[in-house]
Amino acid sequence: MRDRVLVKQFKDDAGLAFIEVIRRAGDPVRTQEIKAELIEAGVSKADVDRWWKTLQPSLKEHPRITCPRSGVYEWSFTTESSHDSLEKLTVQAGKRSAGRAWLVEAFTDNISDTLALVEKSGAGAQISWSQQREREKATLLAELVASVDSLIADGGSGADILDWLTQRALDQRLTPLGRSGETVEFDRELHEPAGAARPRPGQAVRVVRAGYAWSGAGPERVVVVKAVVEES
């Protein structure tokens, strides 16, 4: 089945697309399975093979990817020490190889996350860290609004804007919980009834607004926005 978002991600940065396939597999995944998913999504086999040959050594160095055996890759939710990531980052930053910005970013993010845990353990650090997170969220919203405004100014359609936002959601490890207009079985953990409706668990309901789950914090998905539903 074609996956336009994954194809676009591959065109923008093949390394990130390989990482996404490994991350969302959930279990150890073989090289052939990684390539097959991208080819099934719509990427040409020649491009997949070419970029895999180029980036495979770097994928093995990723701080969140382990190789339990030859030709097998698995996403790890265990955070390595900031010292180890910093050493690897120093080596990677010194290389002049195209297409590895995502690896440098991975090491940088890992160091930031590890240091954040230390920084917010101090007496007054929790307040400053919370303020920093609020600023980051405000910055992200501002970037989204500015980007959508730019797309509209360039003549972008509603479909173009939706595709762009969907890609951003994927980049942030967000997956949709239903689609607007879709009929699903009501689940209190995933759905929020519209108005005064009180559907029963398992009852058929229609999605009014999609929700989203985040899978960046660990092996389990976290519902960050429930889908709004109404009785069919």
**CA-to-CA dists, residue 217 to 106, 109, 175, 190, 213, angstroms:** 15, 13, 13, 18, 11
**CA-to-CA dists, residue 185 to 78, 196, 217, 229, angstroms:** 34, 18, 26, 10
Q: What percent of the chain has pLDDT over 70?
A: 86
Locate the domains of the chain by residue range.
Answer: 4-119, 131-172, 173-232
Residue 224 CA to residue 206 CA, distance in Å, equals: 20
Chain position carrying tokens 């980036």: 55
Report pLDDT for 205.
93
81: left (phi over 0), alpha (psi -120 to 50) or beta: beta
Average pLDDT score, the chain: 82
The architecture CATH gives domain 173-232: Roll (2.30)
H helices present in 26-157, as ranges: 31-41, 45-61, 82-93, 101-119, 125-153
Chain position carrying tokens 């990531």: 85
Predicted confidence band of residue 164 (pLDDT cuts 50, 70, 90): confident
Q: At the topology level of CATH, where does 4-119 sit?
A: Arc Repressor Mutant, subunit A (1.10.10)
Residue 70 CA to residue 221 CA, distance in Å, equals: 28
Two structure tokens written together for 47: 């491009």
Condensed to tens digits (0 to 9), the pLDDT of residues 84-124 reads: 777 777 777 766 555 677 777 787 777 777 776 665 565 55
Condensed to tens digits (0 to 9), the pLDDT of residues 52-72 reads: 999 998 898 888 899 989 999
Q: How far apart are the first and last CA of the chain?
A: 29
Beta-bridge partner residues of 213: 175, 223
Report pLDDT for 168.
82
Residue 134 pLDDT greater than 90, yes or no: no
Beta-bridge partner residues of 212: 176, 225
